[in-house]
Structure 1
């Protein structure tokens, strides 16, 4: 079974939140940073990883993503702050060794 990730990304001012799911967190965030392949991300510049969860399967990750997407903004902010109180970009925290830093 393939692991899955739920992630929340934001823009530089933290005014826009994007919730997504992926089997490769590094690649997904890298693509967001490059504005590649995601219309929403390119338009709203959601290039900063604020939050992520690891799930044992993609099914579990998709189920959780759907749950979070239904939440209001305040609930999402509370979730992010419980994991990342400074609301910093977590990109460097997920980098495999020897990979590109932004």
Structure 2
């Protein structure tokens, strides 16, 4: 089994956020940027990859995603600020 990623996308600094999980962060970030999937992120224009963390297995990534989704928004915002205080789009760094 291969690794996985937990990521957060947003529409602007301190804007709406979405927590997701994927085995292919480059493909998934591209899908968000281009609005290729009809979901919450497309509805709210969440195209900016503001946070990503790699995990050894997709199972670990899914477990972490479920944990983050239960967190209060303030905790998620603080997590983004620890690695990306300016909420830059990390897509180009992948």
Which bracket does the TM-score occupy, shorter chain normalised? over 0.9
Structure 2 counterpart of 1:36? 36
- Deviations along 1:56-100, one digit per CA (max 9) or x if unpaired, are 000000000000000111100100010111111111111xxxxxx
Structure 2 counterpart of 1:57? 57
Q: Which deviates further from its counterpart, 7-16 or 45-54?
A: 7-16
Q: Is the Cα–Cα contact under 8 Å of residues 4 and 54 in structure 1 kept in the other structure?
A: yes
TM-score between both structures, scaled by the size of structure 2 = 0.95
The answer for unaligned runs of 5 or more in structure 1 is 95-102
Asked which structure has the greater CA Rg, the reply is 1
- Deviations along 1:35-70, one digit per CA (max 9) or x if unpaired, are 111321111011000000000000000000000000
- Higher normalized contact order (CA 8 Å, seq sep 6+, divided by chain length): 2
CA RMSD of aligned residues (A): 1.0
* Residue 90 in structure 1 maps to residue 90 in structure 2: yes
Structure 1: 4+ residue segments shifted above 2 A:
none
For the residues of structure 2 that align with 1:87 and 1:41, how far apart are their CA atoms? 16
For the residues of structure 2 that align with 1:84 and 1:40, how far apart are their CA atoms? 23
Q: Secondary structure at the residue paired with 1:30? A: helix
